[in-house]
């Protein structure tokens, strides 16, 4: 049975290359990056390079996560009167519980920090699944809209890898991109927000299908990687939409530089695509923003929306795919246009 589509009616995005969705997406289109030296050095003595968000206030830790989220939420809700914000459920996407160096207070205080800064009350639910947080939140939003009568749902995400415990862990495990290690990612931070509604006849970015699975051969496990988890997630998303992978025009993923995840994406494609395509590009915005964890999903969807609206996408049908370090995999099918 085909699931009802969701419309993403507005975006907010704060990254190292732009403090709004239009500026961030323009930078990604132009392949502009803004990495700088962090305050931390790796084991060979060189400064670790990362993608930091520059704000007016010199916040760090939980205060910066909240500050970035507030900017993104304000952008996503700019057309909604503040008096109506309290009626919009908030799904707050953050780092997974097992993330090394995870900022203290995320679970019990971050939502209160955001509400206080906004001066508005939301009923907030935490989605702590790192890079797969946004597709999980969209599945929850679909349930809230179509089965619990909510008109709109706000999905917000905020995350940062730029703390010493986090950087030390990933550098010690040869996962950061450094002069001595080409097989790694560049750490970053960002926040984003999506305003989600029922699909209507108005043109918008539609989430038409969602799929989830688990990969047992996680990064660093030493087990042979076959891409089972991502393969199952892609097939489930396509089935959920009632469509076919042959109709997808291009792909977008949360890939941030590690060979493991590129290999997984290649394996999953070889096991799911049965039709020859002359062109089937794979976009990865993290090449401009760095690894931004839970915010990756918002960044990906904002980039797709901008590309489709401005006419430089390969087509209106898109496959988005997600993977986190603990083995959770997700995929979603997207279409830009009106509900049919």
pLDDT of residue 209: 97
CATH of domain 6-198: 3.40.47.10
Report the alpha-carbon distance of residue 20 to residue 13 in Å, rounded. 5
**Is residue 131 over pLDDT 60?**
yes
pLDDT single digits (tens) 215-262: 999 999 999 999 999 999 999 999 999 989 999 999 999 999 999 999
Number of other residues whose CB lies within 10 A of the CB of residue 140: 17
Q: Which residue has the higher pLDDT, 203 or 29?
A: 29
Distance CA 192, CA 21 (A): 8
Condensed to tens digits (0 to 9), the pLDDT of residues 311-333 reads 999 999 999 999 999 999 999 99
* Band of residue 340 on the pLDDT scale cut at 50, 70, 90: low
Give domain limits for the chain. 6-198, 204-337
Cα 299 to Cα 253: distance, rounded to the nearest angstrom: 10
pLDDT digits (tens, 9 = 90+) for 151-189: 999 999 999 999 999 999 999 999 999 999 999 999 999
Q: How far apart, in whole angstroms, are the C-alpha atoms of residue 176 and residue 127? A: 25
Give the pLDDT score at 200. 84
The predicted pLDDT at position 207 comes to 97
Instruction: Describe the crossing of helices 296-310 and 21-29 by its angle, rounded to 10 degrees.
Output: 80
43, pLDDT greater than 90: no
Q: For the segment 66-79, what is each residue's pLDDT rounded down to a tens digit? A: 999 999 999 999 99
CATH topology of 6-198 equal to that of 204-337? yes
pTM of the model: 0.96
pLDDT over 90 at 114, yes or no: yes
- Do the Cβ atoms of 129 and 98 come closer than 8 Å? no
Q: pLDDT tens, 269-292?
A: 999 998 888 899 999 999 999 999
pLDDT of residue 296: 98
pLDDT the model gives residue 208: 96
> Does the pLDDT at position 44 exceed 90?
no
Longest dimension (CA), the chain: 57
Share of the chain above pLDDT 90, in %: 88
User: What pLDDT score was predicted for residue 277?
Assistant: 87
CATH number for the domain formed by residue range(s) 204-337: 3.40.47.10
pLDDT of the residue at 1: 47
């Amino acid at each position: 049975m085909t699931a009802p589509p969701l419309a993403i009616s507005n975006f907010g995005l704060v990254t190292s290359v732009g403090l709004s969705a239009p500026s961030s997406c323009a930078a990604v289109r132009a392949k502009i990056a803004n990495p700088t030296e962090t305050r931390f050095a790796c084991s060979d003595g060189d400064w670790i390079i990362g993608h930091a968000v520059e704000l007016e206030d010199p916040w760090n830790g939980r205060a910066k996560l909240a500050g970035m989220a507030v900017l993104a939420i304000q952008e996503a809700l700019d057309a909604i009167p503040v008096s109506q914000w309290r009626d919009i459920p908030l799904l707050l996407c953050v780092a997974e519980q097992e993330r090394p160096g995870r900022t203290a207070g995320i679970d019990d205080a971050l939502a209160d920090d955001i509400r206080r800064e906004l001066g508005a009350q939301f009923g907030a639910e935490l989605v702590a699944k790192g890079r797969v947080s946004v597709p999980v939140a969209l599945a929850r939003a679909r349930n809230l809209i179509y089965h619990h009568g909510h008109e709109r749902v706000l999905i917000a995400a905020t995350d940062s890898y730029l703390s010493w415990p986090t950087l030390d862990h990933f550098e010690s495990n040869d996962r950061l991109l450094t002069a001595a290690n080409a097989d790694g990612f560049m750490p970053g931070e960002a926040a984003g927000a999506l305003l989600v509604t029922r699909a209507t006849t108005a043109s918008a970015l539609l989430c038409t299908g969602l799929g989830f699975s688990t990969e047992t051969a996680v990064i660093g496990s030493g087990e042979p990687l076959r891409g089972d988890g991502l393969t199952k997630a892609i097939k489930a998303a396509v089935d959920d939409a009632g469509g076919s992978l042959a109709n997808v025009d291009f792909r977008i993923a949360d890939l941030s530089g590690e060979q493991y995840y590129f290999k997984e994406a290649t394996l999953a494609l070889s096991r799911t695509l049965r039709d020859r395509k002359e062109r089937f590009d794979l976009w990865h915005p993290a090449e401009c923003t760095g690894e931004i964890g839970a915010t990756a999903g918002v960044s990906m969807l904002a980039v797709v929306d901008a590309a489709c609206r401005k006419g430089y996408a390969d087509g209106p049908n898109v496959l988005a795919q997600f993977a986190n370090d603990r083995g959770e995999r997700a995929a979603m099918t997207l279409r830009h246009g009106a509900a049919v």
